[in-house]
Amino acid sequence: MGKASTVSSLLCCPCRCLFCGVFGCLFSMLTCVFFSAGLVALVLYLLFRPHIIRATAVSADLSNFDLTARTWILHYNLSLAVQVRNPNKRIALRYHGVDAQAFYEGQRLVQAGLPDFFQDTGETSTLSPAFVGESPLVGGVAAAAFRREAAEGAAFSVNVKITAHLKLKLWVITVPGPKPKIDCPLKIQRRNATDGAGTPEFHPTECRVWF
């Protein structure tokens, strides 16, 4: 018998209660439980080495982004492509309840639901949310920001946030996972229909991801 097994039998053997009293026994058992749980967590961690997903906005098309004078209604038509990568070697991911929202000056534009999907280990998936509609822009500050950005080359600061529920698939087991939040602060050039230049250049933007 090795030293380690002697220690663990000393920690966990219920017979010790006879010698060390109720509190001592409780203490030994709790130590044993925590020790085992920690060991299991460590083994699982080393086995699966979970990594956070990565997201990049790779293209954006802002074909319409106009503010009507006086009524301050913002008309917009924005379509995006966001690549989401699962860097894990052993954990596949199932996304459900995927939801994208776009914000201008902190004000929410229309919301876009996205389909559920499955992402195998190391796989990259492309999400294509589209935001088409009109929303009132509340407050003079937001309208002033719009006019400033429209005057400075019509590149607008739009924030896109994507949330989802995850299920983790480890071999044949599926367990509930965290809820990732993806935040993409974008600067998107509005398309100009009259100059016929097509979609303006978009610089791929790394999004922030946290759980």
Ligand X SMILES: *[C@@H]1O[C@H](CO)[C@@H](O)[C@H](O)[C@H]1NC(C)=O
Length of the chain: 211
Burial of 194 (0-12, 13-18, 19+ CB in 10 A): exposed
Nearer to ligand X, 77 or 163 (CB): 77
Which residue type sits at 15? C
| The binder of ligand X chosen from 132, 143, 155, 170 (CB under 6 A) | 132
Question: In this complex, which beta carbon is closest to ligand X, that of residue 96 or of residue 147?
Answer: 147
- Is 63 an interacting residue with respect to ligand X (CB under 6 A)? yes
Residues 6+ apart with CB under 8 A from 141: 105
- Token reading at 70: 């006086």
Reference 76, options 196, 186, 208; nearest CA is 186
Separation CA 182–CA 151 (nearest Å): 30
What is the rounded CA–CA span in Å between residue 210 and residue 53? 9
Closer by beta carbon to ligand X, 66 or else 123: 66
The residue within the footprint of ligand X, chosen from 17, 154, 155, 209 (CB under 6 A), is 154
58 is an interface residue for ligand X by CB under 6 A: no
Number of residues that bind ligand X (CB under 6 A): 7
Task: Choose which of 22, 47, 148, 195 interacts with ligand X (CB under 6 A).
Answer: 195
Q: Is 6 in the site for ligand X (CB under 6 A)?
A: no
Binding site residues, ligand X, CB under 6 A: 63, 77, 132, 154, 192, 194-195
